């Protein structure tokens, strides 16, 4: 009863103004996670608010920006450009959320055909630096207390959804219930400087980053 037509009108006006303000005032660092969040807001507005006259324009603007960000946010080895696992997790989640909203609204065909492929190494990175007990190290600004097992497995299962052909990712995402156990014991991300050594993938295994 409280959400009247007057409230709805005010909300829609404010929403429109907000998106237009973002486009006119992009964050200065085009490779930052802040800029990615802005561009995510614009493309989602273009998909989810087709009633607006500018929705098509917002979608084109956001789509072009997000396509560029696929290579700008991540280094050539797939690690986020700020070298921080928590920011990395957030960036992949942004791209995943855009992917899901586009899929549910019949817009996925307007995205680059290799949209998800750009994220494959980024998804594998989270798997590779997660300990056998599904914990995360305190690397850069990452705080392990915020990277709980439930947070990590939820994200890993989203990655597995994007890459259903990756049996190793599926195995790790679902704690060995499905897929194939990974065999790699030395994994390198040389551009970003991450090197992972482990003697196995079981809960009893030892691992060093």
**Active-site residues: which are they?**
87
How distant, in Å, are the alpha carbons of 45, 132, 152 from that of 159? 24, 18, 11
Token pair 């307007």 is found at 110
Nearest-angstrom CA–CA distance, 44 and 40: 6
The torsion angle over the Cα atoms of residues 121, 146, 139 and 69, rounded to 10 degrees, is 40
**Measuring CA to CA, which residue among 125, 114, 73 is closest to residue 94?**
73
Tokens of 36: 């990615």
Residue 83: Cβ-neighbour burial (10 angstroms; 0-12, 13-18, 19+)? middle
DSSP per residue, 81-121: TT--HHHHHHHHHHHHHHHHHHHHTT-GGGS-TTTTGGGHH
Checking DSSP bridges between strand 186-189 and strand 207-208, what pairing results, if any?
Answer: unpaired
């Amino acid at each position: 009863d409280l959400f009247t037509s007057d409230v709805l009108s005010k909300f829609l006006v404010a929403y429109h103004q907000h998106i237009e303000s973002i486009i006119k005032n992009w964050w200065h660092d085009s490779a930052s996670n802040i800029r990615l969040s802005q561009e995510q807001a614009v493309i989602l507005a273009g998909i989810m608010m087709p009633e607006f006259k500018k929705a098509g324009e917002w979608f084109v603007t956001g789509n072009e920006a997000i396509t560029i960000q696929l290579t700008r946010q991540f280094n050539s080895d797939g690690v986020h450009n700020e070298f921080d696992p928590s920011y990395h997790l957030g960036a992949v989640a942004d791209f995943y959320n855009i992917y899901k909203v586009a899929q549910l609204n019949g817009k996925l065909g307007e995205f680059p055909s290799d949209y998800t492929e750009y994220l494959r190494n980024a998804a594998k990175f989270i798997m590779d630096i997660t300990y056998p007990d599904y914990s995360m190290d305190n690397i850069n600004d990452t705080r392990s207390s915020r990277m709980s097992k439930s947070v990590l497995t939820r994200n890993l299962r989203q990655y597995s959804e994007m890459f259903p052909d990756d049996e190793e990712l599926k195995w790790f995402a679902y704690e060995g219930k499905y897929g194939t156990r990974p065999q790699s014991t030395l994994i390198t991300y040389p551009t970003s400087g991450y090197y992972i050594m482990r003697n196995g993938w079981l809960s009893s295994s030892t691992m060093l980053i």
